[in-house]
C-alpha cells in the first residue's frame, strides 16, 4: 500500500494516485479553485495514534514520582543513601543474581535524588509521549520494560558489585527503538520530520553517553544496554512487524526477547558461579 507523497497518509489499496484526496482538496483550496463552502475534512496526522483516557506515559511518570515520594517519606530526605534504595528495590548484582530477580524490574522506577528524577522524568515525558503515539500503548510498554531489564543486566555484567537505580536504561531503550525505526523508515511521516527527529535522538543518545563517561556514579553500562536492546527492537519491528495490525508478530518478537534476556541472566549467574534460584537472597539480611 502506497503513501501520499505530500503528507505520508496511506492511499487506498490498488490506487495509482500519488497524492491523497485530502491533499488534492487542500491544494485546490490554496489555489482558490475550490468552492467557498467546501469543507476541508479534518484528518489526524498519520503518524499520531490517539488513545483515549490516561496515557501510559502518565502512568509511568506517576509510578516513578509515587515511589520517589515514598522513599522521601521513609528516609526524611530527597537524596537517598544506598540502604534506602536497596530496601525499595535497587538493582544490586549480588542480591539480584542470588534470587531477587525482581530487582531488574523495580530498579527502573527508583531514583537516587531530586536531580536524578527530574532529569529522567523530563526525558520520559518527551520520549515516552513520542514512542506511545507512534508505536501504540502495548508495544511501547513492552519496549520500555524489556529494554529496562536489558539495561539492568548490562549493569551487572559490567560491575557486579555496584547498585543501580533509575529509568534511564529504559529511556535509552525508547531512544534506540525510535532511532532504528526512523532510520529504517517504519513510520509514515514527512521526510523533513523524520530527519529532524532522528538527528535529535542521535544527539540525545551520544551526548548523554559522553556525559555518563565523564562523571563517576552514572551507570553508563545500563544506558548502553538499554540503547542497544532498543535499537534491536526498533529494527526488528520495522522489518518484521511495521504495522500495528501485525500484533502476533510483535508478540513473537517480545517473547523471543524475553527468552533471550532470561538466558542471558542465567548465563551471568553461571559465570559468577551462582546457582540459579528465586527468592530472598541469602546475602540480604
> How do residues 224-249 score in pLDDT, each as one tens digit?
999 999 999 999 999 998 888 889 99
> Between these two residues, 178 and 194, which has the higher pLDDT value?
178
Same domain, yes or no, for 5 and 118? no
Distance of alpha carbon 82 from alpha carbon 68, whole angstroms: 14
CA distance 127 to 172: 9
Residue that is written with C-alpha cell 526498533 in the block: 234
Q: Residue 53's pLDDT is what? A: 78
- Mean pLDDT of all residues in the chain? 85
Q: Which residue has the higher pLDDT, 68 or 243?
A: 68
Q: Looking at the annotation, which residues are catalytic?
A: 168, 223
CATH at 180: 1.20.1540.10
User: Residues with Cβ < 8 Å from 142, sequence gap 6 or more?
Assistant: 250, 254
Which pLDDT score is estimated for 42?
47
Domain count across the chain? 2
Query: Is the same domain home to 6 and 107?
Result: no
Q: Could you tell me if 212 and 139 lie in one domain? A: yes
User: Are residues 109 and 245 both part of a single domain?
Assistant: yes
- Looking at residue 222, its pLDDT comes to 95
**Boundaries of domain holding 19:** 1-43
Q: How confident is the model at residue 191 (pLDDT cuts 50, 70, 90)?
A: low
Instruction: Looking at the structure, tell me whether residues 166 and 216 fall in a common domain.
Output: yes
User: β-pairing, 91-92 with 163-164?
Assistant: antiparallel
Residues 96, 97, 101, CA angle at the centre, nearest 5°?
Answer: 45
pLDDT single digits (tens) 110-168: 999 999 999 999 999 989 998 998 899 999 999 999 999 999 999 999 988 888 999 99
Q: Does residue 30 share a domain with residue 66?
A: no
Bridge partners of residue 113, in order along the sequence: 79
Q: Give me the pLDDT at residue 212, please.
A: 84
Q: Is 282 inside a domain boundary?
A: no
DSSP 85-149: HHHHT-EEHHHHHTT-TTHHHHGGG--SBHHHHHHHHHHHHHHHHHHHHHH-HHHHHHHHHHHHH
Amino acid at each position: 500500500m502506497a503513501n501520499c507523497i505530500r503528507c505520508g497518509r496511506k492511499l487506498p489499496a490498488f490506487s495509482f494516485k500519488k497524492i491523497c484526496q485530502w491533499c488534492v482538496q487542500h491544494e485546490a483550496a490554496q489555489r482558490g479553485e475550490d468552492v467557498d463552502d467546501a469543507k476541508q475534512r479534518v484528518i489526524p496526522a498519520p503518524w499520531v495514534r490517539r488513545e483515549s483516557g490516561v496515557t501510559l506515559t502518565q502512568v509511568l511518570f506517576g509510578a516513578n514520582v509515587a515511589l520517589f515520594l515514598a522513599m522521601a517519606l521513609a528516609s526524611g530526605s530527597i537524596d537517598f543513601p544506598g540502604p534506602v534504595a536497596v530496601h525499595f528495590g535497587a538493582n544490586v548484582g549480588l542480591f539480584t543474581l542470588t534470587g531477587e530477580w525482581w530487582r531488574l524490574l523495580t530498579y527502573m522506577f527508583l531514583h537516587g535524588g531530586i536531580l536524578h528524577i527530574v532529569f529522567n522524568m523530563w526525558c520520559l515525558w518527551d520520549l515516552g509521549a513520542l514512542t506511545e503515539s507512534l508505536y501504540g500503548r502495548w508495544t511501547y510498554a513492552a519496549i520500555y520494560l524489556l529494554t529496562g531489564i536489558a539495561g539492568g543486566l548490562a549493569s551487572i555484567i559490567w560491575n557486579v558489585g555496584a547498585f543501580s537505580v533509575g529509568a534511564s536504561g529504559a529511556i535509552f531503550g525508547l531512544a534506540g527503538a525510535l532511532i532504528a525505526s526512523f532510520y529504517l523508515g517504519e513510520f509514515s511521516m514527512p521526510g523533513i520530520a523524520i530527519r529532524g527527529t532522528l538527528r535529535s535522538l542521535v544527539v540525545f543518545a551520544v551526548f548523554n553517553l559522553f556525559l555518563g563517561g565523564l562523571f563517576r556514579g552514572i551507570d553508563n553500562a545500563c544506558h548502553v544496554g538499554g540503547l542497544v536492546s532498543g535499537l534491536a527492537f526498533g529494527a526488528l519491528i520495522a522489518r518484521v512487524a511495521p504495522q500495528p495490525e501485525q500484533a502476533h508478530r510483535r508478540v513473537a518478537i517480545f517473547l523471543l526477547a524475553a527468552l533471550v534476556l532470561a538466558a542471558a541472566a542465567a548465563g551471568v549467574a553461571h559465570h559468577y558461579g551462582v546457582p540459579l534460584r528465586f527468592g530472598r537472597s541469602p546475602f540480604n539480611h
